[in-house]
Structures are given as structure tokens and as C-alpha cells.
Amino acid sequence: MKKFKRVLVANRGEIAIRIFRACSELDIRSVAIYSEEDKNSLFRTKADESYQIGKNKKPVDAYLGIDEIISIAKSKGVDAIHPGYGLLSENVEFARKCEESGIVFIGPDHIMMDKLGDKIKSKKVAHSVKVPTIPGIEEAVKSEDDARKFADFCGYPVILKASAGGGGRGMRIVWREEDLIREFNSAQSEAKKAFGIDDIFIEKYLERPKHIEVQVLGDNYGNIVHLYERDCSIQRRHQKVIEFTPAICITNEQRQNICEDALEIARSVNYRSAGTVEFLVDKNGNHYFIEMNPRVQVEHTITEMATGIDIVQSQILIAEGHRLDSEEVNIKSQNSIEHRGYAIQCRVTTEDPANNFAPDTGKIDVYRTGSGFGIRLDGDNGFTGAVISPYYDSLLVKVSSWSRSFKDAIGKSSRALREVKILGVKTNIGFLLNVLNHETFRNGQCDTGFIADNPSLLN
């Protein structure tokens, strides 16, 4: 058991602030790192200490300098590093080097991460415990011929995926045989460029499934619980836009089966820290594992609102060596976890829906947010005078709501979004309001094709 005195957050933006807050609540000093381009960003002022990194590096590369980050952590007496999401959060080498330097990596160990962070390997883990996966080839497809054989066998459409892909990138849907070879070759070279590894695998493409994922938490002693599911089907180009919990489109029996399968996978690797097990659910209600994310996710907020469990604090306490059922983490058993009401998260971005969601940049002239009963805001760059740069993610603020009914949670989200006033940069708020207003959304029945099928949402 080691009480942390200092935790460094190897990330930026809203998730860095989220983690600093948890540190502060646990009486831990927070340490930020920031790039030249983030000199004036709000997040670094929210930490107790902050240090510039990546001089002369490209804006994103600054946050990927493993050795530099570990060396700063060591020189500043940091006990542990929280990687947030994206950036180095699923980097096996980073986790390993932290461990070797005597710095605690707040997440699973590098061996576990290696098994789960890669889509092909994690499918094998699911197979080993008989959790259903989408029909496909569970090896990197080496030749166009292998890809063709599989597609001929299972029928089109199929999807080609980069094993190391993430964030909706590195996927290609192939609708017709004549496109397969071309798509295979470009998927491979794209994967190499984007992720450094050209491993591609192929699986059946499910048409308009639902995306249901389960939050899990495990300690260092083999105790693992789930914190129920989230419906993340509302996606644009395979990226989540609005998430909510609980999923309305599944029965209690399906919910139980999906959560139990998520636990099977987590247990099979003795999973430690927070993680998410993702599934697709087809039209017939069958669920299939797609991947496990061994880190905190953007949409963890809604699970926190519905269960009252602080996921980021739990991650830190678990990394200090506390058991799930300790006084500190305070999760006595699976049965003690109560999921109450409905929570919805909307991702407000500086993107222009009228211009194919192109990221907008520039100075924010006016910034006013909505709040009030049942609303939670997690944000970073938003303040009057802030400059939105083109270098990073366009997520501006996450607006989450909670209520005893789904209808009222929608009402609270809409009301809070209508209160927001942002001038100077374009945002997707009008688009989010259109989704919240749509009957299919209000019935909790959107599938992953919903946004693409409804161009009127852009007006």
C-alpha cells in the first residue's frame, strides 16, 4: 500500500482537469505537462504544478515523448502517472517503462494491456472464455487472398480493421467483392502510417447494430465488478456523439448476459483498474464482443452519475493498493452497486455541422455554459478569450445530465444546451439538440446508422 503524494497526468484538456480534481479530492498534489501550443490552455492552470514538454516537437508528439515524461516525473518526485484516454493511455511500452522506473502506472500492467489493447489479441481472449465475437479471422490477414476467402465464405459487407486502431479510425467497410483488394491495400498502408503497425483483420460488417459497452473495475487482488452498461450507438463516422445509461433497447435478461460476459473477459486476465468491454448488438438481440479499452473513457461521467461511484478516484485508490471493498474505494460487492435513474452525455465540439463537421478554430468571444440541477460539465478550453487551436481534439465541453426518468434527463440536457452561448467559434450544439429532440432518440432506439440515416439532423 502506497499513499501517493504526487500524480502526473500525461494528458491534456478536459480529462486532465477531471483527473486533477480527483487528485485534489484525495489530497494528492497534481502535476501537469503541457506543450508549447497549450501554454495558455486552461487545464495546466488547474494542476498544482505544471511543466512544459516537447520543445521543438509537433503539438501532438509533445505528449507522446515517453522518456521525457518519465524523466520529468522522476525529477519531480512523482509517485504515479495517470494517462487519461488517447495519447499514451494504451501504449504498452509506456506502461512498462513506468513500471521499470518505479513509477506506478494508473491502469492495468503492461502485460494485461498488451493482451487487451490490441483488437486481434483481445478477440482471442474473448474466444478463450467463450464470449461471442463477430465472425471473422482472428489473425492478421496476410494476403488479399485470405481476405477474399473469408468474405466469400461469410458474404458481404465485411469490415477491415487495423488491429491497433482506435477512436473510430483504421476501419473500412467493403460492400462489394470488386472493392476488396483495393480497400485491403489502402487499409494496410493507412494502418502503417497511422499506428506504425500494418496488421489488419477482417470480420463480418453488421448492419445498423447497437453499441453497448460495460464499465468494469478491478483491484490488485482479483476482485472485479461491473458498473452496468452504456448505450453509445449514436455515432458519426464510428465516433461517439451522445451516450446514455442504462441502455433502453435491451431487456433485463440481455443486460445481465452482456454484463456477465464483460466480467468473464475481465476475470480471465485478472483485470485491474477501470476498463470498458465493448459489444455490438444485432437486430436479433445477439451481442458480440468487439474490443476492450484498458483505460478510462470519455463517457465514464454518466456511469458515475448513475452509480455514484467516482471512477477516476477509484482508479487512483486501486493503484495505491486499496481493495474494492476497502473503506476508501467502498465497493463492498457487486450487489451493493446500485444503478439509479438515467444519465446522458453530449459531447460539445468546435465543429461546424453545416460544413461536414470541419473543426473550427479561433478566439472565443463569448462563453457561457448551462448548469443547474442534474447537470454536470466537464470542460477545458472554454472561457471568454480562449483560443481554439487546430492541433488537438475538438471536444470543448461534455454536458452530462441525470434524472429519475429518461424523458426528464433529455429535458435537462436540452435545457442546459440551450443555455449555452458560445460566440467566436462554431459548435455542434444545434445538431445535438436535434438528436435529443428526435423521436427515435427519445425512445432510446437509435442504432449506429442513425445519424447517417437522418441528414435533417444537420439543419
Query: What residues are labeled active site?
Result: 240
According to the binding rule CB under 6 A, does residue 205 interact with ligand ADP?
A: yes
- Which of 206, 224, 225, 247 forms a contact with ligand ADP (CB under 6 A)? 206
Listed in sequence order, the residues at least 6 apart from 102 whose beta carbon sits closer than 8 Å to its beta carbon are: none
231 phi, psi to nearest 5 deg: -100, 115
According to the binding rule CB under 6 A, does residue 168 interact with ligand ADP?
A: yes
C-beta closer to ligand ADP: residue 159 or 174: 159
According to the binding rule CB under 6 A, does residue 381 interact with ligand ADP?
A: no
Listed in sequence order, the residues at least 6 apart from 235 whose beta carbon sits closer than 8 Å to its beta carbon are: 168, 211, 241, 448, 451
Q: Kindly identify the residues of this chain, within the stretch 61-120, that bind ligand ADP according to CB under 6 A.
A: none
Give the binding range for ligand ADP (CB under 6 A) out of 15-23, 27-35, 167-175, 417-425.
Answer: 167-175
- Which of 148, 238, 323, 376 forms a contact with ligand ADP (CB under 6 A)? 238
- Which of 134, 151, 263, 395 forms a contact with ligand ADP (CB under 6 A)? 134
Instruction: Please tell me the count of residues contacting ligand ADP according to CB under 6 A.
Output: 20
- Measured between its terminal Cα atoms, the distance across the chain in Å is 55
According to the binding rule CB under 6 A, does residue 159 interact with ligand ADP?
A: yes
Within 10 Å of residue 210's Cβ, how many Cβ atoms?
24
Distance CA 250, CA 285 (A): 8
Residue 288 CB, shortest distance to ligand ADP, in Å, is 8
C-beta closer to ligand ADP: residue 37 or 231: 231
C-beta closer to ligand ADP: residue 237 or 407: 237
- Which of 90, 203, 261, 378 forms a contact with ligand ADP (CB under 6 A)? 203
Asked if 378 contacts 301 with a C-beta cutoff of 8 angstroms, the reply is yes
The binding track of 216-235 with respect to ligand ADP, each residue x by CB under 6 A or -, is -------------------x
Give the binding range for ligand ADP (CB under 6 A) out of 102-110, 162-170, 324-332, 360-368.
Answer: 162-170
Give the binding range for ligand ADP (CB under 6 A) out of 78-86, 87-95, 165-173, 371-379.
Answer: 165-173
C-beta closer to ligand ADP: residue 166 or 362: 166
Listed in sequence order, the residues at least 6 apart from 206 whose beta carbon sits closer than 8 Å to its beta carbon are: 134, 280, 282, 288
C-beta closer to ligand ADP: residue 206 or 317: 206
Helix (H) or strand (E) holding 260: helix 252-268
* Helix/strand/coil percentages in the chain, nearest 5: 35, 25, 40
Looking up cell 435478461, which residue turns up?
Answer: 253
Angle 337-116-343 (CA atoms, 0-180°, nearest 5)? 35
- Which of 97, 138, 154, 166 forms a contact with ligand ADP (CB under 6 A)? 166
- 135 burial level (CB within 10 Å; 0-12, 13-18, 19+): middle
Decide: helix, strand or coil at residue 334. helix
Q: Tell me the sheet residues that pair with 231.
A: 212, 244
According to the binding rule CB under 6 A, does residue 165 interact with ligand ADP?
A: yes
Angle 398-312-372 (CA atoms, 0-180°, nearest 5)? 40
Distance CA 213, CA 232 (A): 7
Residue 233 CB, shortest distance to ligand ADP, in Å, is 7
According to the binding rule CB under 6 A, does residue 290 interact with ligand ADP?
A: yes
Residue 172 CB, shortest distance to ligand ADP, in Å, is 11
Residue 403 CB, shortest distance to ligand ADP, in Å, is 26
Give the binding range for ligand ADP (CB under 6 A) out of 91-99, 182-190, 201-209, 356-364.
Answer: 201-209
Distance CA 80, CA 20 (A): 13
Q: Which residues contact ligand ADP by CB under 6 A?
A: 134, 159, 165-169, 171, 203, 205-206, 209, 211, 235, 238, 278, 280, 290-291, 448
